[in-house]
Amino acid sequence: MAVVIKYVVERNGVERMTFTSKKEADAYDKMLDVAESLEHMLSKVDVPLSEQQVESLALEIAKQKDEFLSVLKGAKPDTPKKAKKVDADDTDNSDEKVTKINQA
């Protein structure tokens, strides 16, 4: 018989997530604390948001708090680079062995 230790993060009597390490459980609990504080801040802003939108937005900001802090400190946000457009006539297929067939 194996003994398994589980760490359960619970909020308002509701089980939110279960972890196998205390460190991960503490980090998730802290993230939920940040999200809760953000909910209070966002509910005071003069932008019409539903309660669900406020909760979702607060949770997403809390999940990505390091990126938000970086931007708030003046750093440029990381933007995903656009994929290079490949023309139909592009013959650089070094990974693939493709023979171009010209129809006359």
pLDDT digit string (tens) for 35-81? 999 999 888 888 888 889 989 999 999 999 988 888 888 877 776 66
Q: Is 85's pLDDT higher than 70?
A: no
Residue 94 in domain? no
Q: 54 is in which domain, residue-wise? A: 22-73
Residue 32 in domain? yes
8 Å CB contact between 59 and 82: no
* This prediction's pTM: 0.62
Residue 93 in domain? no
Element (H, E) at 9: strand 7-11
**């018989």: which residue's tokens?**
1
Which is it for the CA torsion 27, 29, 30, 35, positive or negative? Answer: positive
Residue 39 in domain? yes
CA 54/CA 35 separation, integer angstroms: 10
Residue 58 in domain? yes
Task: Quote the distance between the C-alpha of residue 26 and its chain's center.
Answer: 18
Residue 27 in domain? yes
pLDDT in tens, 11-28: 888 888 999 999 999 999
Retrieve residue 52's tokens: 């669900």
Residue 15 in domain? no
In degrees, to the nearest 5, what angle opens at C-alpha 29 toward C-alphas 23 and 32?
Answer: 145
Count of domains observed in the chain: 1
CA 12/CA 65 separation, integer angstroms: 23
